[in-house]
Amino acid sequence: MRILVINCGSSSIKYKLYGVELGDCLAEGIIEGIGAPGARHRHRVGDWETAVEASVTDYRSGVSCIVEALSEWGPVPPVGDSREIVGVGHRVVHGGERFSASVIIDPGVLETIQSLDSLAPLHNPANRAGIEAAGDLLAGAPGVAVFDTAFFSTLPERAFRYAVPAKWWRRHGVRRYGFHGISHRFLVERASRVLGRPRPNLVTFHLGAGASACAVRDGRAVDTSMGMTPLEGLVMGTRSGDIDPAVVFHLMEEGLSAPEIRRGLEREGGLLGLSGISSDFRSLSQATRAGEPAAALAVEVFCHRIRRYLGAFLALAAPCDGVVFSGGIGENSPDVRRRVLEGLDSLGLALDPSRNEGEGERRISTDQSPIAAWVIPTDEEALIARDTVRLVVGGQV
């Protein structure tokens, strides 16, 4: 029996196939460029990998490609028969106030997810499309929705409320929800094991094209950097992160339309907007080393914002047991971690430069540091698979 995990992004689908026992991943892959010419499908089984062009016009054809790949490219057993896959786990970005935990998908759940499209317009429609396609192509295999926002259902009202008219919250859902919750939950669970603390106090960072921070007390989220949408908080690849709301009014008075402002904040801001070069942190790091001042500024602003949130969240997590870095940038950029942690010995964080330059999961603070700093690679798909097994098969995994 197999568990398939599908993670539909705004133009891609990532997937992993697990055995119900949730040992090693049996197969995985990604389809990129959905709806665009030259879409690519990379599929890996063990050490064997293939990459081909794929005619993928929408999420249905993308999921169809995945089912075909799992059936034809061994050494996993064929899964063309839907009975081979006993459950399909789906990442869903926004669960609103309705969902505080993972659920088996039924028509009512799908309808509620659709009602939240306006809060996550780049993601929820894509998530729904993947759910619907898998439901049709793998009929009989229950779907499970695992929500990015669910981990933040423990936020106290003082953390999730905005200081706006109360009717905006009650009638229009204007409040902070938080995102990347699947990743932050994974990091908390893993950190509790490596630190030997069942309910740790932490500051966790998921740093990539999307970036967020989370303050954790007794193993539960108490604050986070993202808000009603994923636009708030840290500087990201193309998202601005925190800005003065009056900027929007000023730009409207200057003649910019609401769609133009939204595009600037969501798709043309962040690292791309600061540098004018790229939204890819690796490219900006190379340009910084080459002496490009705009790239250097983008990196400085990115790290400054992380450091600012670290200071604030250390106060909320006090006494803090650990700080965790994850995500593509958090796991792979020693320079970012150094810029964020350097000089914080007086706050109880003492970076070990040699450990910081290593690879894989590891402690990067000194043994004497009162607060442990760690790099922990995130694995959202593994957590989604665990929830799917728990809900579909039963028992604790």
Active site residues: 148
Burial 313-350 (b: 16+ CB within 10 A, else e): bbebbeebbbbbbbbbbbbbbbbbbebbbeebeeebbb
Q: Whole-angstrom Cα distance, residue 137 to residue 13?
A: 15
Question: What are 217's two structure tokens?
Answer: 């007390």
Q: Which helix (H) or strand (E) holds 375?
A: strand 372-375
Q: How far apart are CA 351 and CA 362, in angstroms?
A: 12
Where does residue 267 rank: exposed (0-12), middle (13-18), buried (19+ CB within 10 A)? middle
Q: How many CB atoms lie within 10 A of CB 172?
A: 12
CA distance 316 to 223: 8
> Which residues contact residue 392 at a Cβ distance below 8 angstroms, ignoring those fewer than 6 apart?
3, 86, 87, 104, 142, 144
Which residue do the tokens 């992380």 mark?
306
The values of phi and psi at residue 223, to 5°, are -165, 160
The C-alpha atoms of residue 167 and residue 174 are separated, in whole angstroms, by: 9
